Amino acid sequence: MSAARVAGMPGPWQPDPVRQRQAGYRLEDLLRLPPDAPRVELVDGVIHVVPAPTLGHQDVSSLLRGWLGDHAPAHLRAAQAVGVALDRDFTREPDVLVYRAEVPDDRHFLLPHEVVLAVEVVSPGTRRTDRFSKPAEYAGAGIAGYWRVEQNPVRVYAYRLADRPGRSGNREYELLAEADELLELTQPFPVELPITEITP
């Protein structure tokens, strides 16, 4: 059984309640979602609808994606709201990401080794996930860099994947820099980002 409309119920697409209870969804099911399906992530086989972002969140994401796209070297590209398949039954959709340019442009999902930076813009409804869950998931999958962007005022926290496991016994991110004026980094490429350029 694939992701489909609930039998006998009119209206927009919904996940199959039986498969949701069984945590039975896989990556290939997401590729078959109908055009009217909402944005979703797959967490341990359960489909989660991605909350609609605020205008401020979208402004910061768009400005940052534009800045990264303009400044990344030729072997890297920037994208917004593209899924990353962390496992067969686990996907996330970073707000912005930087990935290797050799990835074919007809792909719906990136693999962790193709992503060099995942960025989450924190909103009131995503604080816990963006500050705790997603960094742990991205680090566990081996994504080299993670940025967390707080709003009001805009402040960027830039992390890199540590060489050794952390206190949890798993790979974790370590803070490289934080900035509310100028973010300066050497990875994933030389960065001198004035925070005003990503502030709406």
Tens digit of each residue's pLDDT (9 = 90 or more) over 13-70 = 889 999 999 999 999 999 999 988 889 999 999 999 988 899 999 999 999 999 999 9
21 by DSSP, 3-state: which? helix
**Predicted confidence band of residue 9 (pLDDT cuts 50, 70, 90):** low
In sequence order, which residues have a C-beta less than 8 Å from that of residue 85 and are 6 or more positions away?
27, 91, 109, 110, 111, 112
Residue 112 burial (CB count, 10 A): 18
What's phi and psi for 129, nearest 5 deg? -65, -45
78 has which bridge partners?
Answer: 98
Is residue 36 packed enough to be buried (19+ CB in 10 Å), middle (13-18) or exposed (0-12)?
Answer: exposed
Regarding pTM above 0.85, the answer is yes
**CATH number, span 55-198:** 3.90.1570.10
**Average pLDDT, rounded, for the chain:** 93
Residue 65 burial (CB count, 10 A): 20
In the chain, where the domains are located: 1-50, 55-198
